[in-house]
Amino acid sequence: MEDRIAMMHDDPAVDLTVDGSAVGGMLAAAFGVEMTAAPGQCAHCHTVSVVGAMRVYMRGPGVVLRCPACAEVVLRIVQTPRGTMIDARGAAYLVIERG
């Protein structure tokens, strides 16, 4: 885990990572509510952080949100012709607050 955090902070491609709010528009369109202030719990290390504080990797086939504490995958989002697919296996829970 130490290794993973070091990787996240000392990455030759670090410039390509952004914060959770960068996918705020996509998430708002998918969930119908503002999501960047929504808390979620990492299923790996149990840290609770809001979506806006998660690390976003969006230069790829899909979007990957990672836990700021342990760098594990919390959410994966893919936009397909059918709609937005969200894999939340890495989240113990995610609070979708009342709009």
Partner 1 sequence: MSIDWQLAMVTAVRDETPTVRSFTLGLPGWAGHRPGQHIDLRLTAADGYSVERSYSIASEPERAGEVDITVERIPGGEVSPFLHEVVVPGDRLEVRGPIGGYFVWEAGLGGPLLLIAGGSGVVPLMAMARHRARAGSRIPARLLFSSRGPDEIIYRDELDRLAAAGDGFAVAHTLTRQQPPGWTGYARRVDEQMLAEVIEPLGAGVRAYACGPTALVETVANALVRLGLPPDRIRTERFGPTGT
Partner 2 sequence: MGERFVTRGFVGRREDATSGPMGGDERRRRTPPGQYLTTDFPVLSAGPTPRTPLDRWSLSIEGLVSKPVSWSWAEFLALPARDWVVDISCVTKWTHLDMRWRGVSVDTLLEGLDLDPKAAFAIAWSDGGYTTNLPLADILNSQAFVAYEYDGKPLAPEHGGPARLVVPARYFWKSAKWVRGLRIQATDEPGFWESLGYNNRGDQWREERYTDD
Ligand X SMILES: Cc1cc2nc3c(=O)[nH]c(=O)nc-3n(C[C@H](O)[C@H](O)[C@H](O)COP(=O)(O)OP(=O)(O)OC[C@H]3O[C@@H](n4cnc5c(N)ncnc54)[C@H](O)[C@@H]3O)c2cc1C
Per-position b or e across 83-98, b if 16+ CB within 10 A of its CB: eeebebebbeebeeee
Among 21, 40, 66, 71, binds ligand X (CB under 6 A): 21
* Residue 18 or 45 having the CB closest to partner 1: 18
* Residue 36 or 41 having the CB closest to partner 1: 36
Please give the backbone phi and psi of residue 16, each rounded to the nearest 5 degrees, phi first: -90, 0
The answer to whether residue 53 forms part of the interface with partner 1 (CB under 8 A) is yes
Strand partners, 81: none
Please give the backbone phi and psi of residue 30, each rounded to the nearest 5 degrees, phi first: -75, -45
Among 40, 41, 42, 51, binds partner 1 (CB under 8 A): 51
Residues at the site binding Zn ion, with contacts judged by CB under 5 A: 42, 44-45, 47, 67, 69-70
